Amino acid sequence: MSNQNFRSILTGSFSTPCTDNPTVAMIEAAYRHAGIDARYINCDVKAGNLAAAVRGAVAMEWVGFNCSLPHKVAVIEYLDELAEAARIIGAVNCVTIRDGRLVGNNTDGKGFLASLREVIDPAGKKVFLLGAGGAARAIAVELGLAGVAHITVVNRDPAKAETIAALVRDNTKSDATARPWVGNARVPEGTDIVINATSVGLGDADAMVEVDLDTLAKGQVVADVIPNPPMTRFLREARQRGCTPLDGLGMLVNQGVIGVELWLGTTLDAGVMKQTLRDIFGASDAG
């Protein structure tokens, strides 16, 4: 009789609400493709139950989990150690469990950076960053650690933009300044990379970020964090002006790849993940 193993490696996600998070489908498809007996369990964990959920993951010998809203900051008090970027950002979305020790990481910016590097090396480049929420914060810190020359952070509330700019200046070798977002944001001359890190365009193919499109320059990389629909109106407009569009699907896929590398030490097939998301979102490159 063969020695069959009926125990799966356990990974997953803690967030609330969680019903519309497609990460489980993406990662389980990649596990199957790689022939890995692992599960990714999408759990709805209310704020008051986070401590119990983390203890449960340790008790059940999970190898790691993602945490999304509202747990990215709250989870830190239950961890033993933080990776550098997570410490600077002050938020964690990926926890690795090894020998009962919990190590917190932040793959939001790392996923974006991996996607960006497929089209441009950010070192020494000038970046125009729209928004000052959690995604913008993580992206700005990772860009700083990656050695960009300068980041301009633009936000309706300039104090929030200044907080992120200061975080970059104080913790990396890169320079950063904040600008208030008034009317349509104008992209400064000499900008190499423009990034929409706001939620404008999520689930709405016609929604348009308030940017003066005439200030976009041919050859710029224009990126969007929105995964659904991947080809947002902002990216379509940028592409028509000769810019290189970078959609949010790559960011989401690379976050998954990086998370599983942290948990299992295995690199999953990004193509399988991307195709799974395209099928779910009904996405095509057209538009």
Residues carrying an active site annotation:
72
Sheet of strand 221-224: strand arrangement: 175-180, 150-155, 126-130, 193-196, 221-224, 244-246
- Quick count: other Cβ atoms within 10 Å of Cβ 159? 10
Which residue from 29, 109, 39, 40 is spatially nearest to 270, judged by alpha carbons? Answer: 29
CA gyration radius for the chain? 19
SS3 137: helix
- Quick count: other Cβ atoms within 10 Å of Cβ 102? 21
| Residue 274 and residue 247 in contact, taking contact as beta carbons nearer than 8 Å | no
Which residue from 18, 83, 81 is spatially nearest to 53, judged by alpha carbons? Answer: 18
Q: How far apart are the C-alpha atoms of 269 and 282, rounded to whole Å?
A: 20
| Residue 207 and residue 176 in contact, taking contact as beta carbons nearer than 8 Å | no
| Residue 196 and residue 223 in contact, taking contact as beta carbons nearer than 8 Å | yes
Peptide bond into 17 cis (omega under 30): yes
SS3 166: helix
In the chain, the amino acid numbered 206 is D
Phi, psi of 227 (to 5 degrees): -90, -20
Q: How far apart are the C-alpha atoms of 86 and 122, rounded to whole Å?
A: 20
